[in-house]
Amino acid sequence: MSEEENLFHSIGNSINDSVKGQLFGKPCYKIGSKAFICFFENEMVFKLSNEAHSLALELPESQLFDPSKKKRPMKEWVQVPYSHQGNWLNFAKEACKYVSSMLK
Cβ-contact 44, 91 below 8 angstroms: yes
In the sheet that holds 34-40, the strands lie side by side as 19-23, 26-31, 34-40, 43-47, 74-80, 63-65
User: What are the structural domains, with CATH classification, of the chain?
Assistant: 3-102 (3.30.1460)
Instruction: Give the model confidence (pLDDT) of 6-31 as tens digits.
Output: 999 999 999 999 999 999 899 999 99
The pLDDT score that the predictor gives to residue 103 is 87
